[in-house]
């Protein structure tokens, strides 16, 4: 039985992995990491590692993937397997940072709950951006993370380092998964990581945006079960 640590994305609570927790539970104890402590990737990773088992399989979605890279920098000997879901090894572009700063500025004058929910809904496949089930989940997760958590997470994302140079040194079995319609971290970013990480397996989920664990839980679960049992 392998302990499994799941790392949520920006503005996401443990609910982003609700289906995956149930699917992975038979294969080892599952922990969903908190991403609310710290204002840099390094600080948040320190907090996650302090609460994590001595050795574990590690999976992260979006910002959670950025944190997986930081955890590997800090404690590679503790990570047994790696799964990178809808994420990128690259740092923020100036355009991405400018967009994040714009959203942060809007939080000064707008009600955060509907703004945060709108931010989350925008990541989904166009066919699901009005899905009431996803809207309800987005609203619950925004309430759980809160404005202060969102601000800290956003600053950490903006300041994250370039993880591309370290990909070739990853030696653990690795799954790279992405939605075929992921507009934030597109398929070519996943291909880039899978090509650079020795032996990595790439899975592209059909009819899926950036929120794969919520949008296509069955396909993600199958890929993760294959990953954890290989």
pLDDT of residue 132: 96
Q: What is the mean pLDDT of residues 15-26?
A: 97
Please name which of 63, 64, 75, 89 lies closest in space to residue 6, comparing C-alpha atoms: 64
Burial of 135 (0-12, 13-18, 19+ CB in 10 A): middle
Query: Three-class SS of residue 23?
Result: helix
| Both tokens assigned to 71 | 């955890």
> pLDDT tens, 75-104?
999 999 999 999 999 999 999 999 999 999
> pLDDT tens, 108-137?
989 999 999 999 999 999 999 999 999 999
For residue 203, name the pLDDT band (cuts at 50, 70, 90).
very high
> pLDDT tens, 43-85?
999 999 999 999 999 999 999 999 999 999 999 999 999 999 9
pLDDT of residue 141: 97
pLDDT of residue 53: 97
pLDDT of residue 41: 97
Answer for the pair 54, 78: CB distance below 8 angstroms, yes or no.
Answer: yes
pTM of the model: 0.96
pLDDT of residue 226: 98
pLDDT of residue 209: 97
* All domains of the chain in start order, with CATH: 4-92+157-229 (3.40.50.1820)
> pLDDT tens, 204-230?
999 999 999 999 999 999 999 999 999
In the chain, the N- to C-terminal Cα span, in Å, equals 12
C-alpha 9 chain-centroid distance: 4
What is the percent of the chain with per-residue pLDDT over 90, rounded to a whole number? 99
| Both tokens assigned to 182 | 């992921």
Query: Three-class SS of residue 177?
Result: strand
What is the percent of the chain with per-residue pLDDT over 70, rounded to a whole number? 100
């Amino acid at each position: 039985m392998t302990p499994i640590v799941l790392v949520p994305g920006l503005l996401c609570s443990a609910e982003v992995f609700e289906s995956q927790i149930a699917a992975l539970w038979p294969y080892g104890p599952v922990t969903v990491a908190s991403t609310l402590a710290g204002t840099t990737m390094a600080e948040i990773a320190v907090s996650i590692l302090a609460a994590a088992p001595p050795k574990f399989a590690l999976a992260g979605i979006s910002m959670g993937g950025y944190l997986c890279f930081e955890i590997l920098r800090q404690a590679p000997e503790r990570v047994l397997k790696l799964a990178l879901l809808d994420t990128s090894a690259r740092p923020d572009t100036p355009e991405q940072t400018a967009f994040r700063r714009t959203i942060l500025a809007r939080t000064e004058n707008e009600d955060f709950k509907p703004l945060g929910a709108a931010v989350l809904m925008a990541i989904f496949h166009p066919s699901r951006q009005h899905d009431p089930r996803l809207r309800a989940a987005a609203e619950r997760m925004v309430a759980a993370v809160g404005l202060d958590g969102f601000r800290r997470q956003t600053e950490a994302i903006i300041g994250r380092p370039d993880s591309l140079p370290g990909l070739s040194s990853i030696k653990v079995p690795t799954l790279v998964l992405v939605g075929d319609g992921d507009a934030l971290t597109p398929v070519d970013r996943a291909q880039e990581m899978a090509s650079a990480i020795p032996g990595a397996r790439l899975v592209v989920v059909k009819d899926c945006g950036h929120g794969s664990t919520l949008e296509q839980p069955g396909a993600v679960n199958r890929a993760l079960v294959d990953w954890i049992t290989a």
